[in-house]
Amino acid sequence: MIASHEIETRLREAAEGFLREKKVDIFLGYEKASFPFRTSPLFLSAAEKARRLVWNPFCTANLAVYLPRLFKAPADARAAKVAPPPPTVGVVVKGCDTRSVIALIQERQVPRDKLVLVGVACPGMMDARKAERALGSREALGAGEDAQGNLRAVVEDGTEVTLRREDVLADACLECRSPTPSIHDVLLGSPVEAKETDAARRRTAEFESKPADVRWARLQQALAKCIRCNACRQACPMCYCKDCLLDQTRPRWVGAGTDISDVTLYHLVRAFHMAGRCTECGACARACPMGIDARLLVRKLNLEVEDLFGYRPGAAVDAAPLLSAFTMDDPQEFLTEP
């Protein structure tokens, strides 16, 4: 994927142009991190610093998570009088990120006309943790992509280790069905076709094939590591509520702490709040310090939303959010009859 380098050059040019011509006030992208296998989000406001932008298989963060805070409405009418006008924000978005942006527009959290979307057709991003695990206790000092798209890492003793692409691609990317941004102001890279469009369905079918008690046991086991740090929630672009239900104390919906009952409730409630809103970007799973598959429940919910209502979150800017709408013929096979 030598195209990465090409995209990086064009990305820098685009950002520099937008900033210089004052078409955007801020440009959100990625820059080099202190470590291999990672990048860090970059908030650019000076055109000459556009060279700091990078594009590589570790541009994993979903930058849409920063948008609600950039467009926060003033607290009241008095504040509104002195508040500055909302900025115009340029942002690099992959396929999944674009869906998050669309979902935020659907929910009126960000205005489309204040966004400049630099879409990149995404071939899949690599997971830092998978790469590090594959190296065991050896530390990588540098890493890059080879011509076949595999990961080439240089470890401490100077040797090169090649990790196969399919072994280090992020789980969310292995199940991706929307690699190409559906809306954009600029599109970098040629459109990519989604490959394993059934991957999520196969995974949920495998889980569903087990009896209920086994499913529950597996869920409890997967969640047992949870330390209630809330990283999954904070990394999610759709979790922008000022007062999250899961933090409320009057009443206390979910106890604080790691009692497995509270942990399960946390994840069930958060998953349900994602119904019709989750765009499968995997930011939650990536943020989790304990390596929990944070998409375990929501993966199924997204498929249910599609099957029951024919709805995909972040597909159309003017679509009504799923749970704010209804039809007279919504399915109701779930009802109990005497």
Partner 1 sequence: MSQTVAVQESASPGAWEPKVVAFLCNWCSYAGADLAGVSRIQYPPNVRIIRVPCSGRINPAFLLRALQNGADAVLVSGCHPGDCHYISGNLVARRKFALLRDLLQYAGIEPERVQFTWVSASEGGRFAAIVEKVVEQVRKLGPNRKLVKSP
Partner 2 sequence: MIDKRIPHTDLDRLLDRLGKRGAVYAPAKDEAGEAVLAAWPQSGPAVLEYRNFRLSPKALVLPQNQTLMCFKNGDVAEPALSDRETFLFGVRPCDARAMLALDKVFLGGDQHDPYYARRRAKMAVIALACARPTSSCFCTSVGGGPGDAAGADVLALTLDADLLLGAATAKGRELLASVADLLTDAPPAAVKEAEEQIQAAENQMAPVNVDNIALRLRDAYDSPLWETASQKCLGCGTCSYLCPTCHCFDITDDVRGGTVRRVRTWDCCAYPLFTLHASGHNPRPTAKERWRQRMMHKFRYAAENFDQLFCVGCGRCIRNCPVSMDLRTVLKEVGA
Q: Which residues bind partner 1 (CB under 8 A)?
A: 204, 207-208, 212-219, 245, 253-255, 259, 261-262, 264-265, 268-269, 271-272, 275-276, 297, 300-301, 304-305, 308-309, 322-324, 326-328, 330-332, 334-338
Selected from 159, 190, 209, 249, the binder of partner 2 by CB under 8 A is 249
**In angstroms, rounded to a whole number, what is the distance separating the alpha carbons of residues 314 and 284?**
17
Neighbours of 231 (CB within 10 A): 18
Only segment of 12-20, 35-43, 98-106, 167-175 that touches partner 2 (CB under 8 A): 35-43
Task: Work out whether 283 is an interface residue with partner 2 (CB under 8 A).
Answer: yes
Site membership for partner 2, residue 197 (CB under 8 A): no
Answer with the entry of partner 2, partner 1, none that 216 interacts with (C-beta below 5 to 8 A by kind).
partner 1
Contact between 38 and partner 2 (CB under 8 A)?
Answer: yes
Hey, CA dihedral for 192, 193, 194, 196, is it positive or negative?
Answer: negative
**Which of the stretches 83-91, 93-101, 188-196, 285-293 binds partner 2 when contact is defined by CB under 8 A?**
285-293
Strand partners, 187: 119
CB atoms within 10 A of CB 318: 8
CA distances from 246 to 68, 234, 250, 287 (A): 19, 12, 11, 18
Helix (H, G, I), strand (E, B) or coil at 189: coil
Decide: is 86 part of the binding site for partner 2 (CB under 8 A): no
Angle at CA of residue 272, ends 205 and 333, nearest 5°: 65
Q: Count each helix (H run) and each strand (E run) in the chain, helices first.
A: 13, 8
Q: Which two tokens stand for residue 122?
A: 């995404």
Partner interacting with residue 228 (select from partner 1, partner 2, none; CB below 5-8 Å by kind): partner 2
Q: How far is the CB of 335 from partner 2 (least distance, A)?
A: 31
- Kindly list the residues in this chain that would bind partner 2 in the complex (CB under 8 A): 33-35, 38-43, 61, 65-66, 133, 136-137, 139, 141, 156, 227-231, 233-235, 242, 247, 249, 252, 255-259, 283, 286-287, 289-291
